Amino acid sequence: MPRQDKVELVRELRETIQGASALILTDYRGLTVSEITALRRKLREAGADYRVVKNTLFELAAEELAEQGLGQLLVGPTAVAFLHDEPVGPAKAIADFAREHKALSIKGGFIEGRVYGADQMQALSKAPPREVLVAQMIGSIQAPISNFVGTLQSLMSNLVYTIQAVSDKKAA
């Protein structure tokens, strides 16, 4: 018979998982309490919560995710970043922190129904934020139109200058 506090913890974890847009799993072995607190603060600013979880309880809470391969990432001590918005900012924050603190390593992640490995999460951390990607896309859509308008303006300007030159020549 499972203990009531563990049943409650599994229920709470399940709700947290369902409320998250993505998950990033890390191995925190070797980090001090103050370093984990600093990482939590950094992730909170990036739109994520960071919790140390027991693998067995997390696997029970994430049954449907474990079926998709998330269970293979639950080896050794695990801490999970529960992302609330876009995944690039928190992934970048974890990767930056891992560069500074070699004890932290990324195990993998779960984004939009797919399990990603550590290398893929590292690649995600190098991607520009969503706002930058949207601005780049808008700029690439806008560029041909801007060039066309500029060409039309230069044609009109050249026509006006030509007419003005002919008018000046006839007046002289």
Residues 6+ apart with CB under 8 A from 80: 23, 24, 25, 26, 50, 51, 53, 58
How does pLDDT run across 8-50, given as a tens digit for each residue? 888 888 888 888 888 999 998 888 899 999 999 999 998 899 9
Residue 122's domain is classified under what CATH number? 3.30.70.1730
pLDDT at position 37 = 92
Q: Which of 51, 136, 129 has its CA nearest to residue 90?
A: 129
| Section 80-96 average pLDDT | 87
Does residue 128 register a pLDDT over 90? no
Q: Are 47 and 26 found together in one domain?
A: yes
Whether residue 111 has pLDDT greater than 70: yes
Please state the rounded mean pLDDT for residues 104-128. 82
- What digits encode the pLDDT tens for the residues 130-140? 777 778 788 78
Task: Report the domain count for the chain.
Answer: 2
Which domain, by its residues, includes 144?
Answer: 130-172
CB 58 within 8 A of CB 74: yes
> Which parts of the chain fold into alpha helices (H)?
4-19, 33-46, 55-61, 63-66, 88-100, 118-125, 130-171
Same domain? 162 vs 119: no
Q: Pull the structure tokens for residue 20.
A: 């998250």
pLDDT at 95 over 60: yes
Identify whether the C-beta of residue 50 lies closer than 8 Å to the C-beta of residue 97.
Answer: no
pLDDT for residue 148:
77
Q: Are residues 21 and 34 located together in one domain of the fold?
A: yes
Residue 66 and residue 142 share a domain: no
Nearest CA-CA partner of 107 in 96, 119, 89: 119
Query: Does the pLDDT at position 1 exceed 60?
Result: no
Q: Mark whether 21 and 89 lie in a shared domain.
A: yes
Q: Chain-wide mean pLDDT for the chain?
A: 83
| Domain identity same for 140 and 167 | yes
Strand order in the sheet with 22-27: 48-53, 78-83, 22-27, 105-111, 114-117
* Average pLDDT of span 101-113: 86
Do 70 and 8 reside in the same domain of the chain?
yes
Q: pTM, whole model, 2 decimals?
A: 0.71
Question: How would residue 64 be classed by pLDDT, with cut points 50, 70 and 90?
Answer: low
Q: How confident is the model at residue 65 (pLDDT cuts 50, 70, 90)?
A: low
Identify the residue whose tokens are 């399940």.
14
Asked if 11 and 88 sit in the same domain, the reply is yes
Q: Are residues 100 and 31 both part of a single domain?
A: yes
